[in-house]
Amino acid sequence: GQSLEQPSEVTAVEGAIVQINCTYQTSGFYGLSWYQQHDGGAPTFLSYNALDGLEETGRFSSFLSRSDSYGYLLLQELQMKDSASYFCAVTNAGNMLTFGGGTRLMVKP
Amino acid sequence: DAGVTQSPTHLIKTRGQHVTLRCSPISGHKSVSWYQQVLGQGPQFIFQYYEKEERGRGNFPDRFSARQFPNYSSELNVNALLLGDSALYLCASSLGYGGNYGYTFGSGTRLTVV
């Protein structure tokens, strides 16, 4: 089977940096994705890592270590609008996207 | 450009009834996936279709079925509704299939079974 573990909740202040970790167990791993979902909204694609290393997109970066079955999403210069749920998701050989339970990020002034 | 559109946005059904949910992907996207999201949890994969063929099926009972039409729109059907089927049903489209394409999600259909 497949499983993903990520913290249920993280709190940080505006302007700070926060890291959301994700560990996974899956067979036939292809890549790790991150999605953002605001309350009442649809998940929005943030990033995809297929190879080890860091991918940077503006204030957001995502990291993958395939040997450790581990990845993280790094959010810099936090803004109030970043308050949302963040999901890691793995793509396996069957091209199925399996989501973690989500991390609720609360950004405080 | 229109995003992924789903209809209806909200639906209330009675146990034992049948429901059909509809999804129109972004123009040019050939892959459509369906997910079920229970409040406070991550989306759970139900089906994926690419070029009108089923390419993946999640761990859902046979009461759940789907299809993709020649124009790449899709329907999700659920028979013999149970209270536990109450959830947000999300449709996602992408150019191909595989996480590297990045799925674009619709706003979902909120299904309540009473």
Residue B83 has φ and ψ, to the nearest 5°, of -55, -35
The pLDDT tens digits of the residues spanning A61-90 come to: 999 999 999 999 999 999 999 999 999 999
The pLDDT tens digits of the residues spanning B94-104 come to: 887 666 778 89
- Residue A87 with chain B: CB contacts under 8 Å: 42-43
- Residue B53 with chain A: CB contacts under 8 Å: none
Please report which confidence band the pLDDT of residue A97 belongs to, taking 50, 70 and 90 as the band edges.
Answer: confident
In whole angstroms, give the CA distance from residue B109 to residue B86.
10
- Test the B interface: residue of A95, A98, A104 with most B CBs within 10 Å: A95
Distance from CA of A40 to the nearest CA of B (A): 8
The pLDDT value recorded for residue B98 is 65
The size of the A-B interface in CB pairs under 8 A is 64
Interface of A with B in 33-52 (CB under 8 A): 33, 41-45, 48, 50
Please report which confidence band the pLDDT of residue A27 belongs to, taking 50, 70 and 90 as the band edges.
Answer: confident
- Residue A91 with chain B: CB contacts under 8 Å: 98-100
Please report which confidence band the pLDDT of residue B93 belongs to, taking 50, 70 and 90 as the band edges.
Answer: very high
Got the DSSP string for A8-60? SEEEEETT--EEEEEEEE-SSEEEEEEEEE-TTS--EEEEEE-SSEEEEETTE
Neighbours of A97 (CB within 10 A): 27
* Structure letter (DSSP) for residue B84: G
Average confidence score pLDDT of chain A: 94
Name all contacts of B39-45 with Cβ < 8 Å and 24+ positions apart: B39/B87, B39/B88, B40/A102, B41/A101, B41/A102, B42/A87, B42/A89, B42/A99, B42/A100, B42/A101, B42/A102, B43/A43, B43/A87, B43/A99, B43/B90, B44/A99, B45/A96, B45/A97, B45/A98, B45/A99
- Residue A32 with chain B: CB contacts under 8 Å: 99
Percent of chain A with pLDDT over 70: 97
Please report which confidence band the pLDDT of residue A94 belongs to, taking 50, 70 and 90 as the band edges.
Answer: low
Residue B1 above 80 pLDDT?
Answer: no
